[in-house]
Amino acid sequence: MVSGRLARFIGTFAVVTSAMVVTTGRADAVASEYTVDSTSPDWEWTEKLTAGDDFTVSTSGSWTVDYRNFGRVGAGGYPPEIDKGIWKGCKVLNSAPYGALLGEIVPNGGLFVIGDGGRFTANATGTLLLAINDGRQCHVDNSGSIQVSIGTLAPAR
């Protein structure tokens, strides 16, 4: 249940999972496209993954956690000099900048930073969820979206 999972994050701290690895010996990826809306209180449900699966993420677009006070950024989030000036009560993952693209493989994968993208290895079996690093209770002043392409990599033959 999405709303129950999200409620769990409000006012809590999470541990970043070390999920990024460089992959080799893989065939071409098959990509799926998603849009992550910064104003949506729900996480974007994407690919079903199996623990050990390699996948790639690429991003485009921009969003803001407060259209009245801060400019738009890409999926990497705000630079430290701006991030430190944003009220801290709304982060989903305190160790990542506001506006960073976050991922979680539910039900057991833990939160991790996807940011601008890269190559990753699934640390659990489940569905990859995506969201902006800004708590759902704070989305009223958000604007923009990030387009995400997720490629699942088939083993080389």
Angstrom distance (rounded) from CA 70 to CA 58: 24
- CA atoms of 76 and 116, how far apart (whole Å): 5
- The pLDDT assigned to 99 comes to 98
Q: Model-level pTM?
A: 0.80
Rounded CA separation 127/49 (Å): 6
Q: Kindly give the pairing relationship between strand 126-132 and strand 111-113.
A: unpaired
- DSSP assignment of 140-151: GG-EEEEEEEEE
Model pLDDT, residue 11: 30
Write the pLDDT tens digit of every residue in 93-129: 999 999 999 999 999 999 999 999 999 999 999 999 9
The stretches in the chain having pLDDT less than 70 are 1-29, 154-157
Query: Which domains, ranges and CATH numbers included, belong to the chain?
Result: 2-155 (2.60.120.430)
Cis status of the peptide bond prior to 80, with omega within 30 of 0: no
Tell me the pairing of strands 111-113 and 143-155. Answer: unpaired
